Amino acid sequence: MMAASSPEEHYEKLDVSAKGIISDWNQRRQMLMQSMVSKSIEDSLKDHSSTERTSSSYMRVLVKVFCRSKKVRADKQQQLAELTIWRITEEQLHLMKEGTVVRMKDLGVKCDRGGFLQLSANAATIMESLQKDPTQYQLIQSGYEERRPISLIRITLMSKKLEPSRLAREVDIVACIVKIHQLDDHTSVAYLTDESGFVMKLIRNHGLQNKDPFHIGNVETMSLPTVVAFCNLQVTSFDTIEQCATGTWSISSCKARNLMKLRRDELQSWSNSSIGMEDCRSVLDRIKAGIPICAGPFNRYRVCIGYILGIGECADTKHTGRTTDRDNVNVVVDYGEDVPLTARLPIHLLLTALQLTQNNTTNFSIETSILTAAMVNHSTNSLSEYFQNNQILFRFALEMVSCYGNGNELFMPTVTGVSLAATDALSRLYLSGGSQI
């Protein structure tokens, strides 16, 4: 009886041509297997042209304990829970209105999440309203606060000093949208203002097909500014560059339809007046020009509009002596005052300024290769001559760094951003009042 050899042993006994035939077949076999798998997946997708996704509807509300007694314990008064109602019925939905008191039985209870006790209900949960309506005093004692819009002045203060609680940073607002800007396919920004002149930058992440993320109607035909009322916006950190409050559109945010009507009518009357239209136009011009809304003389972040007069070497303040800082240069800017502004300009922003100049100038006094060599060799005279011959109005974002120097440190603002100045918006601001710039 002859023992059968393994496939590996049989392969080793073959000649070179036979081994080649087997190797080619193994490669073709892998390709055939991949093709069969791909075809099987495609056929399966054709049979199920639309993928089905099942989900359960739910409603989530914040609830507090209702107290009939005038003597309310401090811990009871502050007790707050998050109630989630799965597959809510029409009767339950009718009961879930702000300021109403509802008696519920057979609730599910879970541990705290985000500082809130978690309660759950479903279509079988027993819910009924009280036979006797509670008094306004009882509602207030139980912790109910009637929904009212927050002014942009207060929102600005909240944005500068954020509360750790998510609920404490949730606000309702009535304001005028003066500009909507789409950052990318999934993110849009709306700028809101009111009679105070303060601004809130509202950011929303949305789907690719959502062309109206802020629910104002047809964005293409809608004329701004327009008065809107939003509920449950989340206030976020103050924008130190644009000098305005910021907020985000959360999962609970929505457009208020029947709430805050008195405030909406009041703001609508203001926005239709000549003063309101002028104020909204001024805010819009400031946004387009990139001028901070509420920047004072002692603000750390500032903006300078002007022409580059010269480029000079920058001393390295990190070390003693007068060594040259190879990562920065000094830029001298004419911004309309008696004394030009001198600031520290990083090399990569100098490249940005050169690129912007070349894109907006047809007469080049220095070739690109010469400019590159001038930057490498820190030939500041050539760079200064180039900017003097090609005058472009720039917008410089500056950071004023506090220095407690020892005599060797050089105190001057640092440029954090360079862009072209919006001349149209600047001209309108100047004509409406030079002191606004």
Mean pLDDT computed over 172-200: 91
Range in 76-80, 165-169, 226-230 with the lowest mean pLDDT: 76-80
Comparison of pLDDT for 351 and 4, the residue scoring more: 351
- Candidates 231, 281, 250; CA nearest to 166 is 250
Winning range, highest mean pLDDT, from 23-32, 90-99, 137-146: 90-99
> Which three-class secondary structure state does DSSP give residue 368?
helix
Q: With 60 as the cut, is the pLDDT of residue 191 above it?
A: yes
Residues with Cβ within 8 Å of 306's Cβ and at least 6 positions away in sequence, in order, are 333, 334, 335, 336, 340, 341, 393, 394, 396
Confidence of residue 235 (pLDDT cuts 50, 70, 90): very high
Q: With 60 as the cut, is the pLDDT of residue 371 above it?
A: no
What is the pLDDT, as a whole number, of residue 49?
A: 56
CATH topology of domain 58-141: OB fold (Dihydrolipoamide Acetyltransferase, E2P) (2.40.50)
What is the pLDDT, as a whole number, of residue 82?
A: 87
Confidence of residue 347 (pLDDT cuts 50, 70, 90): confident
Tell me which amino acid residue 299 is: N
Comparison of pLDDT for 329 and 319, the residue scoring more: 329
What is the pLDDT, as a whole number, of residue 155?
A: 93
Structure confidence by residue, pLDDT tens digits, 286-328? 888 888 766 555 567 788 889 999 888 877 655 545 566 678 8
Please, what sign has the CA dihedral across residues 66, 72, 76, 78? positive
Beta carbons of 204 and 187 less than 8 angstroms apart: yes
Task: Encode 36-73: b = buried (16+ Cβ within 10 Å), e = exposed.
Answer: eeeeeeeeeeeeeeeeeeeeeeeeeeebbebbeeeebe
Q: With 60 as the cut, is the pLDDT of residue 32 above it?
A: yes
Q: With 70 as the cut, is the pLDDT of residue 411 above it?
A: no
Confidence of residue 436 (pLDDT cuts 50, 70, 90): very low
* Cα dist from 419 to 306, 347, 357, whole Å: 11, 15, 10
Percent of the chain topping pLDDT 70: 79
In 144-273, alpha helices (H): 152-160, 261-272
Distance CA 90, CA 96 (A): 10
Comparison of pLDDT for 100 and 35, the residue scoring more: 100
What is the pLDDT, as a whole number, of residue 60?
A: 85
Number of Cβ atoms within 10 Å of the Cβ of 220: 7
Distance CA 260, CA 172 (A): 9
Mean pLDDT computed over 384-401: 86
Look at the block and give the residue holding tokens 């750390």: 300
What is the pLDDT, as a whole number, of residue 320?
A: 47
Environment class of 388 (CB within 10 Å of its CB; exposed 0-12, middle 13-18, buried 19+)? middle
CATH 2.40.50 fits 301-421, yes or no: yes
What is the pLDDT, as a whole number, of residue 374?
A: 55
152-289 falls under which CATH superfamily?
Nucleic acid-binding proteins (2.40.50.140)
Structure confidence by residue, pLDDT tens digits, 264-288? 999 999 999 999 998 898 888 888 8
Q: What is the pTM of this model?
A: 0.65
What is the pLDDT, as a whole number, of residue 260?
A: 85
Percent of the chain topping pLDDT 90: 18
Comparison of pLDDT for 221 and 243, the residue scoring more: 243
Residues with Cβ within 8 Å of 254's Cβ and at least 6 positions away in sequence, in order, are 230, 231, 232
What is the pLDDT, as a whole number, of residue 78?
A: 55
Mean pLDDT computed over 402-408: 50
Mean pLDDT computed over 111-122: 82
Confidence of residue 408 (pLDDT cuts 50, 70, 90): very low
Mean pLDDT computed over 194-204: 92
Strand partners for 115 = none
Distance CA 160, CA 236 (A): 9
What is the pLDDT, as a whole number, of residue 435?
A: 45
Longest dimension (CA), the chain: 110
What is the pLDDT, as a whole number, of residue 289?
A: 83
Domains 58-141 and 152-289 share a fold: yes
- Candidates 293, 203, 287, 297; CA nearest to 244 is 293
Confidence of residue 2 (pLDDT cuts 50, 70, 90): very low
Mean pLDDT computed over 104-127: 85
Task: State the chain's mean pLDDT as an integer.
Answer: 79
What is the pLDDT, as a whole number, of residue 378?
A: 52
Mean pLDDT computed over 45-58: 67
Each domain of the chain, given as residue ranges in start order, spans 58-141, 152-289, 301-421
Residues with Cβ within 8 Å of 179's Cβ and at least 6 positions away in sequence, in order, are 190, 191, 224, 284, 287, 288
> Which three-class secondary structure state does DSSP give residue 322?
coil
* Cα dist from 371 to 89, 358, 385, 433, whole Å: 72, 11, 11, 39
What is the pLDDT, as a whole number, of residue 173?
A: 94
Q: With 70 as the cut, is the pLDDT of residue 407 above it?
A: no
